[in-house]
Chain A
């Protein structure tokens, strides 16, 4: 597992990012708050992964405490990038307060949202 984002300069960890490969799918673990301040770090990581030819992504949001539209925009941007390579970007999320934001914006119709990383991987492999 690669840890991408250590503690911020102020000592507070607003967002932690890590990624690892499982069964050929890159799993991105996100912890903390994804907002207008921190979302650029997630965007950079997704771009870096795609540039390294990782086109099957699962973003695990189980430890995300806050998500705003900037974060949604980053996820949509990531989805567009992997789809340009016939790839996929699925989400793992069971928190109602986070799921509500996806429902309000209609993005539940755009992303595959799963209850666990294993379920997301299984769903992706079933589609192949």
Chain B
């Protein structure tokens, strides 16, 4: 069972709320202060990606964010209702030439992979989940 679960309407304005909740739970779970910016950004990226997909395919369906502290790792799972194959890249969002990464790599995924200790993207029912985790590096109070 997740420590905290949040569902939100797939609107860009709510991504900020999800970021704030994730940062607060991560801090309370004992994630090192130096990693909180990474958690905030990675969770925001995963939620933005889900919001963009929902707005194209199912704007009435909420997005779920589950945050879990198992004592050793802090894990965030963002689950949407859109198959991974339908996520695609919004126009102009792919990486330009010269970055050293494949040009079809979404900037959002590149950022998530660069920030989280571990990342998994899986099919869950009709949709997709992005699981990100960080090792806890301090003791929770």
| A and B form one complex | yes
Residues of A at under 8 Å CB distance from B?
14, 33, 35-37, 66, 68-70, 72-73, 76-77, 79-80, 97, 101, 104-107, 109-110
Q: Are B106 and A36 in contact (CB under 8 A)?
A: no
Q: Which residue of B lies closest to A108 (CB)?
A: B99
- CB-defined contacts of B51 to chain A, threshold 8 Å: 36
Q: Are B13 and A106 in contact (CB under 8 A)?
A: no
Interface of A is mostly: helix
The size bracket of the interface on B is: 20 to 34
- CB-defined contacts of A80 to chain B, threshold 8 Å: 92, 96
B15 smallest CB distance to A (angstroms) = 5
User: A37-B15, A37-B16, A97-B37 given as contacts; is B111 within 8 A of A104 (CB)?
Assistant: yes
Contact string, B59-78, partner A, CB cutoff 8 A, digits 1/0?
Answer: 00000000000000000000
Q: Are B16 and A73 in contact (CB under 8 A)?
A: no
5 closest A-B pairs by CB: A106-B99, A104-B114, A69-B107, A37-B12, A73-B93
User: A35-B15, A35-B16, A104-B114 given as contacts; is B90 within 8 A of A73 (CB)?
Assistant: yes
Q: Tell me, in angstroms, the Cα distance from A105 to B45 when the chains sit together.
A: 13
- CB-defined contacts of A69 to chain B, threshold 8 Å: 45, 48, 93, 106-108, 110-111
Task: Give the contacts of B24-43 with A (CB-CB under 8 A).
Answer: 37, 40-41
Q: Report 5 cross-chain contacts, Cβ distance below 8 Å, ordered by A residue.
A: A37-B13, A66-B41, A68-B111, A69-B93, A110-B99
